[in-house]
Chains A and B, each alone.
Chain A
Amino acid sequence: MSTATRSARWTLDYPRLGTGPLPVEPYVSQDHFELVRDRVFRRSWLCTGKRTDEIPRPGDFLVQTVEMLGASILVVRGKDGALRAFHNVCKHRGNKLTRAAFGSCRAALVCGYHGWVYGFDGRLASVTEEDMFFDLRKDGLDLTPVALDTWAGFIFVHLDPEPKETLREHLGELPALYAGYPFDALSVSFSYTAELSCGWNVLRDSQLEGYHLKYLHKRTVPGSMVNRADPSRHTLDFKLFRRHAVGSWYGARSGDDTGPVGRLAARIGQTLGSAATALSDPNRWPVGLNPTRAADWFFDVCYVFPNFHIIFVGLHAFATHTMWPLTRNRTRWNARGYFPPVKTLPERFSREFTKCGIRDLWLEDGSMLEGTQIGLESGAIREIQIQDQEIMIRHAEAVVHEMIADGAR
């Protein structure tokens, strides 16, 4: 990296983003929350954070609740192998078809209230005591569809009955960046959910920068994010797109700086302390992963607007964060880890160590997020300060404001 490059500031390449402080108001205002609901979340593809391989067989289903938009969405695999999404609402009198988060039906979806039966394709198959209804037009009583599409195995839904854009259009440049990433060789290894007393954007911001890892996670992050050649610079690269953004972060992971149990675990499988660039040649990674091909690479963040983050920590390891706004200052957070499946007992021990370490790191995030919301709501500050390497926060806020402004036209 040349000296000239080092002195640059990414933010200066995006004059429309400015360099000043950002207002606190979007993090605390009820009016703003409602605009975000109506003009951003209701009009965007939302990643469920769940994957197609979680419901592999015909009749397997999952339910995604989107409280902000008052929706319960049933995603079910059809006999033809295709995934479809429907409102989880019986056409008889509106009962929830299922209350489970995951499940499997043998032959059909059956409402527990009065036994109406639907096919996995959403078609109304039969009505109990049908002869007692009046002029029942069954062909108009199929389940109400919800737009669904997938990328890299992740299931996305759109709550607009007629989305203005396809998922491909929404994703833009992202699929090309990660083409060749072995998403399908990895599976969800652990998944945690918490309801936090903070706004969705406070949670969003916490995963859009690497700045805090050197401080909040000083105990839990193995290795050093301190770049001795350039102590203030901990980011390797940013790319900002129309809505999404990606970043890449420095970290000299040697694997030797974890404790004794971590060293036992690292001999068996990748842990957070393992140097991912020593496990496989980064020059052969997908173009978007560690794009500067740095040996001292820690992780990349791919922000899939508006509610999903992928944190890549290696060619065979990533985490995800899915954000579901509940109210102005309540958010459901689903954090997951994806790794190659483990089989033997030593592999499972190694994975348990990795899981416990990442979980404890996420607990550090959780309490900080709630403390931040209290601070923002206290009235003590009206602005927040954003440094160059927090540019993804500045960009995310700008995109939200653009969508709100566009929605008014």
Chain B
Amino acid sequence: MPRRLPDAFAELERFVDAWALPSETARSRKRLASTMDEIQAFYDAMLPKGEAILAHLAAAGDPATDADLPEETRTLFRLMLSLAEVAPAVEIFRQPGVIDGLEAARFVPDHESADWKAR
């Protein structure tokens, strides 16, 4: 199987299928559909690499669109966005979803709609 992450982060390869997702909606759904064990395993693997990943991502500069990124960098970036998504689950709620929160699917991210992106 071809590598999908930069060499330095090869050990995160096992999380790519589950967590390298292209949108907030997809990442939020994945968080809510996961067990805390799954979320914690991803978080524990990502966090120690966080600084190094950000340094690697910084080297990508200021891309006009994600399509301009090397595929490995884009995949690594998506993992990092999933770390942002699961951080509240691990650090605050200690469960996948918001405690006593509104159902996430009812809180629609306008910024991911086709109309919004057409602006």
Contact = CB atoms under 8 A, between A and B. Distances in A.
Nearest to B58: A346
A194 B102 contact: yes
A370 interface: yes
B110 A366 contact: no
A181 interface: no
A100 interface: yes
A261 B83 contact: yes
A364 interface: yes
Interface stretch (A226-234, A299-307, A348-356, A390-398): A348-356
B87 A193 contact: no
Contacts of B58: 344-346
Given A344-B61, A346-B54, A364-B98, A352 B107 contact: no
A349 B51 CA distance: 12
A261 B110 contact: no
B47 interface: yes
Contacts of A219: 92-93, 99
A362 B63 CA distance: 31
Contacts, number: 133
B88 A364 contact: no
Interface string A292-322: 0000000000000000000000000000000
Contacts of A360: 88, 92-93, 98, 101
Contacts of A367: 100-102
A238 to B, nearest CB: 29
Contact of A191 (B63, B99, B111): B111
Nearest to A368: B100
Interface string B6-41: 000000000000000000100000000000000000
**B51, B91, B100, B102 pick with most chain A CB within 10 angstroms:** B102
B119 to A, nearest CB: 5
**B63, B84, B101 pick with most chain A CB within 10 angstroms:** B84
B61 A192 contact: no
A265 interface: yes
Interface in A331-369: 334, 343-346, 348-349, 352-353, 355-357, 359-360, 362-368
Interface in B28-82: 47, 50-51, 54, 57-58, 60-63, 73, 77, 80-81
A260 B100 contact: no
Contacts of A100: 115, 118
Given A261-B50, A261-B84, A368-B100, 16 more contacts: A104-B118, A188-B111, A220-B88, A345-B60, A346-B57, A348-B81, A349-B57, A355-B24, A355-B84, A356-B85, A363-B107, A364-B98, A364-B100, A364-B102, A366-B102, A367-B101
